[in-house]
């Protein structure tokens, strides 16, 4: 994700899909659905460090994810298992959990 290191002041990510096919993530999603502890993700650790470094240099991140109700299994996984890592690194998230129709 080159944009994590190349943007100058602010980056905003807009997500509108209810499922993203992330390579290598199927086993982790299955583990989440089964309620088992999630393994560490070395690739995610690198992205989290990029976010930390950018935030430390005064850059800001934002995320808007437009979701539909009921939440898909993927969106539930993302809210519970992916966003917290980004939040801990300093990248705030905003989720709109109301259907837009």
Give the model confidence (pLDDT) of 61-93 as tens digits: 888 888 888 999 999 998 888 887 777 777 766
> In whole angstroms, what separates CA 98 from the centre of its chain?
19
Is 69 a member of any domain? yes
Give the model confidence (pLDDT) of 7-34 as tens digits: 889 888 888 989 988 888 889 999 999 9
* Overall pTM > 0.85: no
The position carrying tokens 């560490």 is: 40
Is 59 a member of any domain? yes
Strand ranges for 1-101 from DSSP E = 10-15, 60-66, 94-96
Is 76 a member of any domain? yes
Is 49 a member of any domain? yes
Distance CA(11)–CA(63), nearest Å, equals: 8
| Torsion (CA) 96, 99, 100, 101 in degrees, nearest 10 | 180
């Amino acid at each position: 994700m080159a944009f994590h290191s190349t943007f100058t002041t602010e980056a905003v990510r807009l997500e509108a899909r209810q499922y993203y096919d992330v390579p290598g993530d199927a086993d982790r999603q299955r583990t989440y659905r089964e309620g088992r502890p999630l393994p560490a993700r070395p690739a995610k650790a690198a992205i989290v460090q990029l976010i930390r470094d950018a935030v430390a240099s005064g850059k800001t991140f934002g995320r808007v994810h437009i979701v539909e109700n009921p939440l898909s299994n993927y969106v539930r996984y993302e809210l519970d298992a992916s966003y917290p890592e980004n939040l801990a690194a300093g990248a705030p998230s905003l989720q709109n959990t109301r259907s837009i129709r």
